[in-house]
Chains A and B, each alone.
Chain A
Amino acid sequence: MNMKKLLAALFIVAILAVAAVIIFRQKISPSKNSQNSSKILVTSTIYPLSQLATHTGGDLITSKTIVPSGVEPHDFDPKPQDLVDVFESKVFIHSGTALEPWVEKIRADLESRGVVMVDASKGLNLIKGNDGVDPHYWLDPVLFQQSAITVRNALLAADPSRSSDYKLNSDKFIAKLIELDNAYKKKLFSCNQDTVVVSHNVLAYLANRYKFKVRSITGLSPNEEATSQSIADTVELLKTNNIRFVLAESLMPSKYADTLAKEAAVKTLLFNPLEGLTKEEVQQNADYFSVQYFNINTLATALECLKS
């Protein structure tokens, strides 16, 4: 008899809780309801890919990035509302690498919902190493032009009513990428050092393109623990080549760079591999290009390039 009363009470509490959550919910997911019915929603997994969307779509689209800045994409597990955003979008851009393991798991669902999945690495020859495919291709302004074209085509197909606008924006975007490529070439033309030392290996594509060498303490994943052998070898290299600078990534703790700095009298410089923006960069309204120009300066300093 008392059991039944307790059960009934629990039941009622459960229903009330559900009701409360539904009411509450109206206030916490504005994005869905306030979606302007004429603008299409484009979701991207990580920041650099959403830059493709923003620079091509501008104000004509609503763009959302799923993995927040500062979160390691490799470890990111989408929350329910994150998936809701992706499910509700018309175009979904992902890197096409192992950086976002959750993407493959929802492919079947997305396809049945008619969400267009865009692989930003389509048509690109990605660098393969011991650790797997290097995902940092967005740092290479030449490769990124191909990604820009892929995204442009997707937007044209998804929202043909605005094709002329998208084409215009895309052309401007690609022009800026060409400009960026020239800036890299110029700044890194004549340098005293040929090797950059960096915490984890984000520089392979830039090194390929602009002809310098990279020594990284760990591999592709910043979660790896560096072996003491690796650190020792790096210290050796720093001393032998008289390298004065070591690069740390802006959103990651710089413990290895700091270790090296103590061992070999080097200074730490910040490099942003563009997986996200720092708080300062967000406040400064930074974007792909402003960060890249910052990166050029960092590399020029590290490689002790002559001012031109």
Chain B
Amino acid sequence: MSEVLVCLKDIHFAYNRELVLEDIDLHIERGSYLGLLGPNGSGKSTLLKIILGLIKPQKGEVELFGQPQNKFKDHFKIGYVPQKATQIQSQFPISVEEVISLTAVSKKAAHQALTKVGMYSHRTRLITELSGGEQQRVFIAKALAASPEILLLDEPTVGIDNESQKDFYSLLRELNKEGLTIVIVSHDTEDIIKEVSRVVCVNRRLVCHVSPKEFIEGHFQDELYGDDRKKIIHHHSHA
């Protein structure tokens, strides 16, 4: 039985009197590669933020590495790659290596993280001069520079071109092989189910927690997306 890194018990969260998440129980085991799926507004990003401690649920408990969230001190163990939309304003002058230095414990760690994502040669460039895919790699490197044990990514493929997406997924595969636990929130169902080892579906409630094969074969997609499913699948095949 693998070590449980993240444990969510009975999570409820409401925003402006609207229930966003209800009755969520979830264990994330070390070494897993988990896809968090759901339609827009399903609460999946919110769930990620609750794990990260950015949002406090009204009800329920979060345990990180066996400790209650408010007592958890080893922040470096958790790596976070935010959604691209929350990105940098134009003309915020910060270079790639300065971004990495925010989390890196040493120059060596920074060097290694940048090399891992293939951005070492770009370290003196301004982050605003990079393409979407390059920026994302920098953010991944920033998360890696602290030597995390779990990496959480929020909609990482939004606005990334296909070529970069392929590289991105192969990087994640490599990291997971090396032992990094990964949780990835995405609405890119088709691509995700090809990469992850577990699928968690959220649409206000926990709809499924299965292997990708079971996800495809089960009727989870209907329950998850309702009529949107057909639209989404068609959209992806034309993407």
Direct A–B contact in the complex, CB atoms closer than 8 angstroms = no
